[in-house]
Amino acid sequence: MKQFLDSLGDEDAADVIAAMKVVAKEGVRVAKHVEGEIYEVKAEGDRQSFRILFAREGEHDQVLLALEAFSKKQGRLPRETIELAKRRLNDWRGRGR
């Protein structure tokens, strides 16, 4: 996620961070459920929209684990992007064992 944020301008990065903070404060009810444990939050940047796929982690689901972030250019979320997020979540959890 840091690499993605570093690739954005300051204003766009701030918009993405603000969107994640809203989810952190309000919970996943303000996000879109994608599939399984994967959720999506939208951030409207200066000239484009961004999407962040994340999962709740931690003993009390208090951590929002960002799995994939990208500029949204099409209407439908690509299947391969969802699968990438699932693989990253499984990899993250596998390292914790």
Structure tokens, 30? 């303000």
Confidence (pTM) = 0.87
**CATH assignment of the domain containing 17:** 3.30.2310
Q: Which of 75, 13, 84 lies closest to 54, judged by CA?
A: 84
- Structural domain count, the chain: 1
Give the per-residue pLDDT at 82: 93
pLDDT digits (tens, 9 = 90+) for 70-80: 887 777 888 99
pLDDT digits (tens, 9 = 90+) for 48-71: 899 999 998 877 667 788 899 988
Domain carrying residue 43: 2-95
